[in-house]
Amino acid sequence: MRALWGSRAARDYLSDALTLLPGWTREGRQIKRTLVIDDSQHAALTERIKVVADALHLQPEVRRLDGRTQIRLTPRDSEDITEGVVTLAARIEDAYRTVTGEA
């Protein structure tokens, strides 16, 4: 289902989609998630994120800090959160469950 991204309905659609992604929070034009995983899980997750992000033409910020993996997803240019950003977050959740064995 495609929405018109400039409309209120589109923003509501994306907000609803974000509520289905546990642990993700919205901060302005970006969404973020912090995961407690070990170094090998971080490496595996980062590789999976890169593959999906490349396919969606997005550039997530993934970093390791104090034993945690921090992920920030920001749309390109001055766009508000897009369907692609929410899709990437959902795919990251799938990859996270696979990497940690919670799938």
pLDDT tens digit sequence for 33-52? 999 999 999 999 999 999 99
CA angle 11, 48, 32 (to 5 degrees): 35
Question: What does the pLDDT look like over 16-31, one tens digit per residue?
Answer: 888 899 899 998 889 9
pLDDT at 102: 84
Which CATH number does the domain housing residue 49 bear? 3.30.1360.20
Q: Is 87 a member of any domain?
A: yes
Residue 1 has pLDDT above 70, yes or no: no
Number of domains making up the chain: 1
Residue 3 within any structural domain of the chain: no
Is the Cβ–Cβ distance between 62 and 33 less than 8 Å? Answer: no
Q: How confident is the model at residue 15 (pLDDT cuts 50, 70, 90)?
A: confident
53 within 8 A of 9, measured Cβ to Cβ: no
Between 83-100 and 39-56, two packed helices, what is the crossing angle to 10 degrees? 150
Residue-number span of the structural domain to which 83 is assigned: 8-100
Greatest Cα-to-Cα distance within the chain, rounded to the nearest angstrom: 42
Does any domain span residue 1?
no
Judge whether 2 lies within some domain.
Answer: no
